[in-house]
Each structure stands twice: as C-alpha cells, then as structure tokens.
A and B are shown apart, each in its own frame.
Chain A
Amino acid sequence: MKFELTLAWRFLREGRFQSALIIIGVAVGVAVVIYISALILGLQANTINRTLGAQAHIVIKPPDEMVRNVLPTDTTLATIQPKAQRLRSVDNWQVLMPALAVDPDVVAVSPMASGAAIAIRGEANRAIVLFGVELDRYDRIVELSTKLTRGNFRLNAGEVMIGIELAKDLGVDVGDRLRVLTPSANDQFQISGLVDLGSRDLNRRALYLPMRTAQNLLGIPGGVTNIDIRIRDIFSANDVAKRMQSVGSVNVESWMQTNGQLLNALQAQSVSTTMIRLFVSIVVMLGIASVLVVSVVQKRKEIGILRAIGASRGQMTRVFLLQGALVGFVGSTLGGVLAALLVAAFSALVTNSAGQPLFQIEIEPSLLISSCLIATVCGTLAAVAPALRASKLDPAQAIRV
C-alpha cells in the first residue's frame, strides 16, 4: 500500500493547481453541509425548546366524557349534543404513576392539578391557568428552575410563581400579593418568583402553585387532572404514548400529536437539509471524478511506464481510488474548519437587540466526523470510474503516445 499512497500523494502534489481547486471545492461543499446541518439542528432545537419549554412530552388525562346512546343501535340520530367536559381527576393516578415510571424511555413523571381561574390585583384581573405541581418532580419535566428570571424557585404554602407577562399585566413583582378566583373558591397568594416560559401567551397565563392548594381551589381534592411525562428521545413520543395507552382508561397525548404543524415544519426542514446534503455530495463527487478523469489522461504515459516496470492493474486502481479518498479527506477537514468559522461568524453577526446570538449553534463532533467519513467515501466512489480507466490502459499504447 505504501507505493499506492506515495504515488497518489505525489500525483496530487504534481497537479498542484488542479488539486488545490478540487480540494477547495470539496472544502466549500462540506462546509456548506456542516454549516447548514448545524444551523438547522440549532434552529430545530431552539424551536422545540421554545415550544416545549413548558410542555411535557407526554400528558396523561382522564378520558373525555361521552354521551351514551340509549336508543337501539340501528337508530340514527340527527344530532348528538356533546357533553360538557367538567374538571375530573385521573382515576387511580397514584397507582398509575409508578407503572408509568418503569418504562425505560421515561425520564420523569409528575402529577398536576390544572384548571382555569382568574387572577385579581386591585382593579386588574386576568384569565389564567393554574398549574398545581409538586415542584421538584415538575422541575424534572420542563426544567422550570432554568426559566426563573426573578425571585426564588420555591412554592411554599401560600406562594405562587407566575409568568413575566402576567406580572406585567397585573403590575406585580416578587413579594407582592394577588388573589386567585375559581368557580368554587378563592384565596390570596404571595409571589415567590417570576418565570419566562419562552412564549408570550404562556407567560401571560401561567401561575404555578403547590398541588394541594390547586386541588382545593379547583374542587378536586386529592385528584390530579393530568400526569406529565418526560422521555429520553422526544421524537419517540408517539411510540411511547401508544405503549402507555394500555395502562388504563386514560387519554394519552404526545407533544407530537398536539403540535402536528410544528412537527410537519421540522420534518420539512430535515428533508430540505437531507436534499441539500445529497446534492452537494453529488456535485462534490462529480467534481472529484472530472478532475481525476483529466488526471488519468494527463498521466497516461506515467501509468504506462509504471505498468511496464511491474505495477499491476490493481495497484493502478488503488492509486486513483486513494487520490479520490485523499481529496475527500483533506477537503472535508478544511471544510470542517471553514464551517466552524462560518458558525462563529453567524453567532457574532446575527444577534438580537441585546447583542445575544439569536440561538445557539454548535457543531457536534459526531457531525464533523461523519462529514469527513462521508466525504472520504464519496471521494473514493467518485474515483472508481477514473481508477478503472487507469487500470485498463494498455501500457504499450500509453508509452507510445
């Protein structure tokens, strides 16, 4: 192999200008692929993070109340009035929780008593959603502690945490008091902290309070309206949800079902990235192939001499395959560096009004390694046709030229 590697390297060095051009071509192609992949991954992570910021991956709810048809089954009714859905607890939630937690894909399980209410402060009042949680458990679902902007991350009895927009609307801050009104009760609370949930709408409506207090306010003592679940791989949510359906008479919803449009958009992005990767790879391969085809023609005589002095067809094939691999490897390594520079430039130049990057882009080492590997394999594949051509050269004819 030493002969093949030495010759491949020397041939590339000999055609310096040609080699430099194609290596730059590969580098630019690979840089574009890595940059776009990192950008899309960053964008998707950011979008998912913002959308799922305060949302569990899977939510278990009590089944919808249905109107039961008491007439004979062959009787067709013109209209059936749907039943009003009252606030109900998940049956046997305390038994369900450990059963759900044993699933290997599940990271955390947290009960929640949630319902509508009105927050009142002086003259101002706002429609809100109560999230009655066990703070430690719930933090493992949506990492609420990372979203705290002011005050303390705690929910003692009589304390609440609210969204930053709600605080603005009611004109309150940490330490202030507000009143919460539900159809069945009302109570006063002190604000222990403000949270930014990443969505203006959520920030305007969210109020977190201890679960037991919420149960009393909502009139479901001892009950929970849903069980929130966080799983390892968010894109397996549908499969995990399907599995969980069998735990009992419950409604299991994954984030993928409730955010169908977002998912479609993410998938469209992923497809676009794959298409860009594919086309860039094809262009890079064609570039390498064309340069090597020209190289075979230019090196006819040398190939002829080498064959005459004992080089086999296989050795000549490998010389050109290695040239393709070398171009792919060197080009993609440079491409990785170029992509890192592009990402750094993006982070530095594309910023929000506060001078912060719009979102985090990181080039995963696995992306770099796989890009290098794919480029090297593509380079080798691109060299197959030129290499076969070189190996089939008739030495007698090649020398005569």
Chain B
Amino acid sequence: MSELLRLTQIRKSYGIGTPIETEVLHGIDLVMQHKEFAALIGPSGSGKSTLLNIIGLLEPATQGALAMQGKAIKYTDEKTLTQQRAANLGFVFQFHHLLPAFSAIENVMMPQLINGMPVTGTARKEAEALLDAVGLSKAINKKPSELSGGMQQRVAIARALSLKPALVLADEPTGNLDTQTSDEIFKLLRRFNVEFNTAFLIVTHDPRLAARCDRIVELVDGNIAKDAVNQAR
C-alpha cells in the first residue's frame, strides 16, 4: 500500500487572539495508506470532527503540515483546496445532508455537475449503477424527503463515491440510524472499500462498528491516545 495522507504536528486553536483561545488538537501525527479502512474514535469533544474537517480541507489547521498523495496542501490557496476536495475526497455526514431540491440521482451526479462534466449518457449510467449498488435502483427519481433516513444515507454514500475519490471521510455515518440499518450501511462502506479500493476514515461512537475496522485511531483531549491495527478482526 502507498501513502495517501500524512498529517505532521497538526494543531488547531479556536478564538485565536481572544481571552477564550482554546487549542483542541495538540500536534497530531497521522499517516493513512491507500485502501485503508480506519475508524476514528474518542469521547465527545476530543476533536474528532475538527480533525476530520482539517483532513477534508474544510477548515485550516492553525499549525502543522498536511500532504495528500505526497503533495503538500497550502490552506491559503482556496482554488487548490476546492480542486483537491473534488478530486480526492468524498464526504458522508451524520445527517445525510442531501440537497432537498434534487432527486436521488441528481444528488449522486452533483459532483459531476459541479465539475462541469456532462450529466448524460455514461455519467448517468454510472450514477444509476451506484444507486443500484446501494440498493436504491427503484428510488432514483425520488426527492430526499421521500426517502427514509437509511435510504438518504445510502444516497449520500453513492454521492461520495461518484467521482471515485481516493479517500472518503465519514462523520458518524450511522449515528442517526437503527442497529440493523447501521449494519447495512457499514457493510456498504466495506464493500466499496474492497470494490473501488477507496480508503475510508470513519468517525464513530459505536464501539461495535469500530471493532469491524482494520485500524482504530483513538483521540482523547486533542491527542492520539491509541493508534493500532485492529487485531480483533
């Protein structure tokens, strides 16, 4: 496996220059390889979502360096950040976060539309295949409001994979779902990890889900407390 992501001494503070300045990440070092399937666990407030946002290039680190596929990322260049997000990253959020005005298939094809790719022919067939893979072939034209929570999350997963990113960041993808649906969603993530060779970094509170990942990174009070290959699997 080759290196996908390297974080070096990442620090993040909020309220810089004010009396309430708080550092939530205290020098994180983390390396992820291609095709890895890792869980990021930790108590609430430990900095998991912040770390995920920094890796997802959604917010800048206060200090430290981030390299993706060997290329150092500068937070000052907004255009490159947008391009990197579109090219390398997929997102799955806890609350599905689909666009309510668009149908399931339009949501899946949204990254293509944003990147100015044609949204007919091959692209549509690929989106249909993705929705079929997540078991929603019959719901492609339905609006998010017509879908259940589990179905919406499947659409979100299909969307995250539509541009075949190298890394999908999932922020508590099953946090809002019942046990059975959570299990199905997890299986889907795993399947795409194998089929598409996509690396996953999954933030979760659920120890049972974490236990099924290949690697578990535990964050406590803004520091990595444990980072180990999951022997239990």
Contact = CB atoms under 8 A, between A and B. Distances in A.
Interface of A: 2-3, 6, 10-11, 13-14, 301-302, 304-313, 315, 394-396, 399-400
B101 A13 contact: yes
Nearest to B113: A3
A311 B56 CA distance: 14
A300 to B, nearest CB: 11
B59 A311 contact: no
Contact of A308 (B79, B85, B102, B113): B85
B59 A394 contact: yes
B17 interface: no
Given A308-B91, A312-B82, 12 more contacts: A3-B114, A302-B100, A304-B97, A305-B91, A306-B114, A308-B56, A309-B111, A310-B82, A310-B115, A315-B114, A394-B58, A394-B59
Given A308-B58, A312-B82, A302 B99 contact: yes
Contact of A310 (B78, B93, B100, B111): B111
Contact of A311 (B114, B119, B163): B114
Categorize the interface residue count of chain B.
20 to 34
Contacts of B99: 10, 302, 305-306
A399 B102 CA distance: 18
Interface string B82-118: 1101100011010001111110000000110111100
B85 A309 contact: yes
A2 B83 CA distance: 18
B116 A2 contact: yes
B79 A396 contact: no
B230 interface: no
The interface residues of chain A, by DSSP majority, are classed as helix
27 contacts: A3-B113, A6-B113, A10-B101, A10-B102, A11-B101, A304-B97, A305-B91, A305-B98, A306-B99, A306-B110, A307-B82, A308-B91, A309-B90, A309-B91, A309-B160, A310-B82, A310-B83, A310-B86, A310-B163, A312-B78, A312-B79, A312-B82, A313-B78, A313-B82, A315-B114, A394-B59, A399-B97
Which among B58, B85, B98 has the highest number of chain A CB atoms within 10 Å? B58
B58 A309 contact: no
B97 A301 contact: yes
Nearest to A394: B59
Contacts of A11: 101
Given A13-B101, A309-B91, A399-B97, A2 B113 contact: yes
Contacts of B115: 310
Contacts of A302: 99-100
Given A309-B91, A309-B159, A310-B85, A395 B58 contact: yes
Contacts of B86: 309-310
Which among A2, A6, A394, A399 has the highest number of chain B CB atoms within 10 Å? A399
B114 A310 contact: yes
Contacts of A301: 97
B130 to A, nearest CB: 14
Which among B98, B111, B114, B159 has the highest number of chain A CB atoms within 10 Å? B114
A396 B56 CA distance: 9
Interface in B1-49: 49
A10 B119 CA distance: 16
Nearest to B162: A309
A320 to B, nearest CB: 15
Contacts of A10: 99, 101-102
A400 B93 CA distance: 10
A306 to B, nearest CB: 7
